[in-house]
Amino acid sequence: MIMVIGGRAQGKRAYVRERFSAEDPQIFDGCLPEEGAQGVKVEEVGKGKRGGNGKQSEKRRIVVTNFNNWIAKNLAAKGEQECLREVREFCRRYPNSVVITEEQGCGIVPVEKELRLLRDAVGHAQIALAEEADEVIRIFCGLPQRIK
């Protein structure tokens, strides 16, 4: 798994497009493959082909965009520990994946409790992703830096 991390609008997606679009990856926006199969929005980009019948090949390159949204959607129902477990399971099951995630912990502690918990959970999930990842790329002002 390759993890791409950076602040908002830093060029994370452009980096992934540039590097992987030739492989015609399947894109999962804010969801993980299993959920995509169950009808959550799956957007097919790259060469524009709409492939797959919901069953994702574990060999095919897949790209998860807006990974943070997955945490945001699942945290309340599943709790942080279960989310972390599923994240790790995903990483092991899809070694050929790319995960794009936004750094969100670099501001003042939010007043709303849910946002505070979410911010921490996103951070912890990113630590788990980075531990599982073969490669971690951090994008800052469009500049990719390999940090693992």
Partner 1 sequence: MIFMIGGSGSGKSAFAEKRAEELHRETAVEAPLYYLATMQVWGPEERARVEKHRRQREGMGFVTLECSRGIERAESKIVPGSVALLECVSNLTANEMFREEETLNGQEAALENPQALADRLFDGLLRIDSLTKEFLVVGNSVFSDGVSYDETTAAYLKTIGRLQQKIMEEASEAWEVVAGIPLRLK
Considering only residues 82 through 111, tell me which ones interact with partner 1, judged by CB under 8 A. Answer: 103-109
Least Å from the CB of residue 32 to partner 1: 18
63 in Cβ contact with 38 (< 8 Å) = no
Length of the chain: 148
How many residues sit in the footprint of partner 1 (CB under 8 A)? 28
Considering only residues 108 through 137, tell me which ones interact with partner 1, judged by CB under 8 A. Answer: 108-109, 113, 116, 119-124, 126-127, 129-131, 136
List, edge to edge, every strand of the sheet that includes 42-43: 42-43, 26-29, 62-65, 97-102, 2-6, 135-140, 143-146
Q: Interface with partner 1 by CB under 8 A: which residues? A: 3, 5, 7-8, 103-109, 113, 116, 119-124, 126-127, 129-131, 136, 138, 147-148
